[in-house]
A and B are shown apart, each in its own frame.
Chain A
Amino acid sequence: DVKVTQSSRYLVKRTGEKVFLECVQDMDHENMFWYRQDPGLGLRLIYFSYDVKMKEKGDIPEGYSVSREKKERFSLILESASTNQTSMYLCASSWGTSGEQFFGPGTRLTVL
């Protein structure tokens, strides 16, 4: 079974803190994605990566950065957390651009 894991299920941080969300997949997928889910809105793409050391901005990249040093690991970084970044964050991975995406369990981040 494909497994996508995320470092934390729940996280509470303070405004201005630097936050790292880690995602690891074990199926050698080339593509990895970070989304956020907010009530009343669909999953919105923050950043994605098609290969190691590659990154592409999604629809809402402002306030975020990413790192992909190894194929299996894709990190989302909030340089200076703000309250409007309180959300559910989901990581996903896939084969190819049209392959189904496999999602991690999500990290519910609260920024106080």
Chain B
Amino acid sequence: ILNVEQSPQSLHVQEGDSTNFTCSFPSSNFYALHWYRWETAKSPEALFVMTLNGDEKKKGRISATLNTKEGYSYLYIKGSQPEDSATYLCAFNTDKLIFGTGTRLQVFP
């Protein structure tokens, strides 16, 4: 069974702090790595789909890196804001998506 692990499980930070979390996935049979943001009472929304080893993607204050050889991806949030509070999910893409359990981020004003 393919396993995707995310750490930490939850994170509480102050507004303005920068933060990062990790997604670990199998390094074989890699097609893509997805990151989603899931805000309470909303639908999960895609942040990034990453396919190439060494890839770095950025959307505003959020960025992600990918290492397919060692099987991990980092998500960084620079200068966290209360509106960044959400659960961040990563998913390993084979012929379907295998999701991690997520990192729940709370940003306090």
Contacts and interface: CB of A to CB of B under 8 A. Distances in A.
A43 B93 CA distance: 13
B101 A99 contact: no
Given A97-B93, A98-B32, A103 B99 contact: no
Nearest to B97: A101
B46 A100 contact: yes
A89 interface: no
Contacts of B91: 43
Contact of B44 (A44, A48, A97, A103): A103
Contacts of B4: 42
Interface string A70-105: 000000000000000000001000000111111111
Contacts of B32: 98
A98 B32 CA distance: 6
Nearest to A104: B43
A42 B89 contact: yes
Nearest to A41: B101
A21 interface: no
A52 interface: no
A4 interface: yes
A98 B51 contact: yes
Given A42-B4, A98-B93, A103 B101 contact: no
Interface of B: 4, 31-32, 34, 42-46, 49, 51, 89, 91, 93, 95-102
Interface of A: 4, 33, 35, 40-45, 48, 58, 90, 97-106
